[in-house]
Structures are given as C-alpha cells and as structure tokens.
Amino acid sequence: MEDDETIGRALHRSLVLHGYEVQWESTGRGALAAAQVRERDLVLLDLGLPDLDGVEVCRRLRRMSPDSVLVMLTARQDEMDVVLGLEAGADDYLAKPVRLAELQARLRAHLRRGSAHAESVITVGDLAIDSAGRHVAIGGREIVLRAKEFDLLQRLARDAGVAVTRETLMADVWDEHWFGSTKTLDVHVAALRRKLAVDVPGAHRTPMITTLRGHGYRLEQPGT
C-alpha cells in the first residue's frame, strides 16, 4: 500500500512486469479491508499512511495474515521506527527512495525461502522443527513463528552448538546479495528468544540463542 500516486504507479508497474498479481491500496483502512477478504503472499506497506499509523497497520496485518511476507517501505530516518515496524510483524524493510532492482531482489529472496521445504525434522533438546510442514514445537506444544523467524531458527538448528556468523545468517535466511542494515537479524533473534522462553510443563531442555559479540549467534545444545 502506498499513498503517493507517483511512487505507487512505479511500484505497481514494476511488480506487474515481473509477473506479480498486484492490488494497490492507498490507505491503511483499505489494506486492512482487502486483507480480510483474502490473505496475500506478499504485502508492501508504506509506514507513512494518511489515515492510520503504519506500524499499527503492520501489527494488524500480521495478526490477520500470519503467513504473508510483509515488507515495510519507509522514508523515516530514525532506526527506532524501523525496529518498531519489525517488532510489529514486518519481515523486512526498504528505505525510500526505493531502488526497484533491490526491491525485486528482496522480494524474490523472501518468496523463494518462504516456499522452500526441506524433508527432515530437526530436533534439538525439547525443540522439534518440522521443515516440510513448517511447524515448530517445544515439548509437543506448537510455537507459532513468522516466516523469517522459522527460517532463522531452522538455519541455527541445522548447526546447533556451532557459531554462525551474521554474514552467513543474512545470506542464508535473507539474501546472499543483501543491501543495507542487518538490524532485522537482531530483531528476529530477539523475537525468537521470547518465543523459545515459553513455559511448557515437562520441557526442561529447550535450546537458547547465544549472542557472540562481533561474530554472530549460536543455538545452544541443552545440557552443554
């Protein structure tokens, strides 16, 4: 959704030319109404909407469409606005003015990873990750993750107990030709930590994510 007609037309034309089926809404209320009718594979959300706060729209869209890829477009320079948007449920963000080639690369990466299914179940302590069904459970209780949270946890779990660099995580979970800040990685790790900390009766071996300053992250093997 984009309220600036010039930007909106350019984005619409670029997406259609690349084979996307596009519905363009210019207000937050219009976007929320459209999401109630049908869940979208992908949502581009301008934070600077004329009728509703973009972060609040992001939060509502995430509740309504938990499996959609949600990418924010923002002209705001304050990093906190970006963090708030990511914490509200966005998978990624792009700063305006948007470079169309970068936008297309990001969208392809998100959709490719969102549709990729491995055939195995990864188990780390009481944590079980069903890669094919994209389900995560702790002690048998399912934990609801957003698309990128799942991809990030799965990547860390494949090398449980091993330090994984920030660069590797960005390349494997987002895109090997990533542009810009990696703040999205830190926000997604923080969200995963909160969800892994859920209290499940009988589950005493839930792995935690350790920050390796200046390097990356490690999913700890319980009991080590």
Residues pairing with 141 in the sheet: 138
Residues 6+ apart with CB under 8 A from 38: none
Calculate what percentage of the chain has a pLDDT beyond 90: 32
User: Are the C-beta atoms of residues 185 and 169 closer than 8 Å to each other?
Assistant: yes
Strands 127-130 and 121-124: what pairing?
Answer: antiparallel
The pTM of the full predicted model, rounded to 2 decimals, is: 0.59
- Answer CATH for 121-219 from 3.30.70.1350, 2.40.50.140, 3.30.70.1380, 1.10.10.10: 1.10.10.10
Q: What is the DSSP letter of 88?
A: T
Task: Report domain extents, the chain.
Answer: 5-115, 121-219
Burial class from Cβ neighbours inside 10 Å (0-12, 13-18, 19+) for residue 140 reads exposed
CATH of domain 5-115: 3.40.50.2300
User: pLDDT tens, position by position, for the chain (224 residues)?
Assistant: 666 788 888 888 888 888 888 998 889 999 999 988 888 888 999 888 888 888 899 999 988 888 888 998 887 656 677 788 888 888 888 888 888 888 887 787 777 665 544 447 899 999 999 988 889 999 889 999 988 899 999 999 988 999 999 988 988 888 755 555 678 899 999 999 999 988 888 778 889 999 999 899 999 988 74
Mean pLDDT of the chain: 84
